[in-house]
Amino acid sequence: MLSGKVTSAANGLALPGINVILKGTATGAITDWQGHYLISAPDQEGVLIFSGIGYETQEVKIGKTDRIDVVLSLHEKKQQEVTVTQPDKYRSIPATKAGSGAFRPKNEAYDAQTWAEHEEAFNTEEYKGITENIFHDARNSPLSTFSIDVDNASYSNVRRFIQSGQRPPVDAVRIEEMVNYFKYNYPQPAGEDPFSINTEISTAPWNEKHKLVLIGLQGKNIPTEKLPPSNLVFLIDVSGSMSDPNKLPLLKSSFKLLVQQLREQDHVAMVVYAGAAGLVLPSTSGAEKSKIIDALDRLEAGGSTAGGAGIRLAYDIARQHFNKEGNNRIILATDGDFNVGESSDGAMEKLIEEKRKLGVFLTVLGFGMGNYKDSKMETLADKGNGNYLYIDSILEAQKALVNEFGGTLFTIAKDVKLQVEFNPAKVQAYRLIGYENRALKNEDFNNDKKDAGELGSGHTVTALYEIIPTGVESKFFKVDELKYQKLNLNHATANTHELLTVKFRYKKPDGEASKLIVHPLPDKSSQLEKTTDNFRWAASVASFGMLLRNSEYLDGFSEEEILKLAQGAKGDDREGYRTEFIGLVKADRLVAAK
């Protein structure tokens, strides 16, 4: 695979929407809004053609490299043909009314900065409100219950904002999704359970009086060749709002990467929706890759967005080809801007809750900006026994659909819940960092009818608790003694060395009864500098999320300190994702200084 970035010779900014073609073939790609592309090409032979409206076409020979960066110059004659005059900062942007009702560029050859400014002017993005978790009294409320979350859409969405020179909206920052974007070096499960349980305790980096507890799950990694056959339905939004280069064109390139991972025993059907829904590809073997890719290539954007009708049809198709021994899943790709039929969060939630009883899982892939409906897509994934990812570039698509193929598409445990009981002899108060949208009632833990999160093959899940030890004074927690009653600890509790007990419940992918696992945690704390890279990395990402959310609990812990913590915990970063995070923190310093 070849990757690279295309920039403008005029100003050095990224060029989205540039066509990249392997000369003499039908193999191609399109640059995303950051100018990145990824294309399948032969080693050390062939020629790549780079072309875009208003720019000189450039041909580049493929040499002994897996990365080719290109700088394109403006074509003066072509620029004159496509440029119109307007009286404001968009005067060089030819514009037309699109399906979403906002003015959208008709010419794809404009830079990423102008694109970001343009979208910001018509921003109708929607995020579910989040109220940060507070400290709870371990005597009066010793139980903390929540559903696991393997979504990581928030991280790539936050990255999109920062890389375009903006701070993300506070409610776009879900700390647990940022932490869980990264893989951690937890051991593979050794027993019959599909995941291993890992815990660690140290000082909270941002408050030396407090402790930080890490709880990590490692899902069993199943080799691709041993994964069960898949019955997949691609559910693709082709409405007018999907016409931008970082939507349908990027979507098509992303799905082509996924198609290349499919085996003969896997089958794919394709449903699209705009003003109405329709089947454009019947269930087809993964061996017929050219047929599936041809169907993708024929897709064009236009019309309103009947998302509800599309979801109903996709579930009907998935049910018709249901594989009792396999993986049955719908992959919904959209910007979430539904406006025909069921469209409210409540209506979509009821629809998905009704359909998930069919035994079909749901993966939601988000695309685009400006009219992006994060809240709706988070709801769909949460209620549909699925996961949610935001695809902001072709490299993110490769991470989600190629590098983490099994974790994204194959569930090994469903309805995974955690309940932590804190020992009040050791813990004065506690707060769960993130997971605000995943909180459960304590009684939900033993209720097998209550939906919870899914764990995929090879997935890691990490949760962090900030703890105020008993006897420690903290400005973040002060509760008066009770007047009418006294809470006395029993002798056994006062003398135990246990800090807390973690309880887990999970079901097999096709099961209805849950299994309970109990994991006590002794109060054995390590010095921060002697903790694992896992612990310090998770803490650095969580603290950056707290910074972006303006959390009072960060208590002056600076970006410099976050950087130092992350740089010392980068570890084995083969894919470069941790290095990218460090660069993101540095970029945010520049954004914050504006």
User: Can you tell me the distance from the alpha carbon of 591 to that of 583, in angstroms, rounded to the nearest whole number?
Assistant: 12
Give pLDDT, residue 108. 39
* 153-163 helix and 374-383 helix, angle to the nearest 10 degrees: 160
How large a percentage of the chain has pLDDT more than 70?
88
pLDDT value at residue 341:
53
- Domain 136-222+412-472+496-592 sits in CATH at 2.60.40.1230
CATH 3.40.50.410 spans which residues of the chain?
227-391
pLDDT at residue 88 tops 50: no
In the prediction, which pLDDT does 594 show?
64
Query: How far is CA 184 from each of CA 219, 404, 408, 411, 418, rounded to the nearest angstrom?
Result: 11, 13, 16, 19, 19
Of 149 and 210, the one with more pLDDT: 210
- 3-state DSSP call for residue 374? helix
Secondary structure class of 442 (helix, strand, coil): helix
Q: Where in the chain do CATH 2.60.40.1230 domains reside?
A: 136-222+412-472+496-592
Best-predicted range by mean pLDDT among 116-125, 392-401, 485-494, 498-507?
498-507
Q: Given a cut of 70, is residue 155 above it in pLDDT?
A: yes
Q: Which of 64-73, 109-118, 127-136, 465-474 has the lowest mean pLDDT?
A: 109-118
Q: Kindly state the average pLDDT of the residues 412-431.
A: 96
Contact 30, 37 (CB under 8 A): yes
**Could you name the CATH architecture of 227-391?**
3-Layer(aba) Sandwich (3.40)
| Higher local confidence (pLDDT), 483 or 455 | 455
Phi/psi class of residue 336: alpha, beta or left (left: φ > 0; alpha: ψ in -120 to 50)? Answer: left
pLDDT band, residue 26 (cuts 50/70/90): low
Predicted pLDDT of residue 246: 86
Average pLDDT of the residues in 194-201:
96
Half-sphere exposure of residue 499, counting CA atoms within 13 Å on the CB side?
21
Q: pLDDT value at position 19?
A: 81
Q: Which contiguous run of DSSP H or E holds residue 465?
A: strand 460-469
Find the mean pLDDT for residues 117-136.
Answer: 78
More confident site: 353 or 6: 6
Would you state the pLDDT for residue 44? 67
The proportion of the chain whose per-residue pLDDT surpasses 90, expressed as a percent, equals: 59
Burial 163-190 (b: 16+ CB within 10 A, else e): bbeebbbebbbbbbbbbbbbbbebeebe
Question: Strand 361-366 and strand 327-334: pairing?
Answer: parallel
**Is residue 470 within 8 Å of 425, Cβ to Cβ?**
yes
Its pTM stands at 0.81
CA 270 vs CA 251, 254, 463: distances in Å: 13, 15, 36
For residue 53, name the pLDDT band (cuts at 50, 70, 90): low
pLDDT one-digit tens code per residue, 532-564: 999 999 999 999 999 999 999 999 999 999 999
pLDDT, position 297: 94
What is the predicted pLDDT for the residue at 344?
A: 57
Task: Evaluate if residue 586 carries a pLDDT over 80.
Answer: yes
Q: Which residues pair with 96 in a beta bridge?
A: 104
Is 198 or 358 the better-scoring residue by pLDDT?
Answer: 198
How far apart are the C-alpha atoms of 337 and 26, rounded to whole Å? 32
Alpha-carbon span 266 to 424, nearest angstrom? 52
At CA 7, angle to CA 5 and CA 11, rounded to 5? 155
Considering the chain, tell me which residue range(s) the CATH 2.60.40.1120 domain(s) occupy: 1-122
**Rounded mean pLDDT, 575-588:** 93
pLDDT band at 96 (very low <50, low <70, confident <90, very high): very low
pLDDT recorded at residue 115: 46
CA 582 to chain centre: 18
CA distance 83 to 400: 37
Q: What is the mean pLDDT of the chain?
A: 86
CB 48 within 8 A of CB 20: yes
Name the residue among 370, 382, 388 with its Cα closest to residue 345. Answer: 382
pLDDT exceeds 60 at position 81: no
**1-122, superfamily in CATH?**
Carboxypeptidase-like, regulatory domain (2.60.40.1120)
Do strands 2-8 and 70-72 pair parallel, antiparallel, or not at all (unpaired)? parallel
The three-state secondary structure class of 423 is coil
Among 79-83, 147-151, 434-438, whose mean pLDDT is lowest? 79-83
Q: What span, in angstroms and rounded, lies between the C-alpha atoms of 53 and 104?
A: 16
Please report how the helices 577-592 and 559-567 are oriented relative to each other, as an axis angle in degrees rounded to 10: 170
Query: How do residues 383-420 score in pLDDT, each as one tens digit?
Result: 888 899 999 999 999 999 999 988 889 999 999 999 99
pLDDT digits (tens, 9 = 90+) for 293-311: 999 999 998 877 667 788 8
Residue 149 has pLDDT above 90, yes or no: no
Band of the pLDDT at 43, cuts 50, 70, 90? low
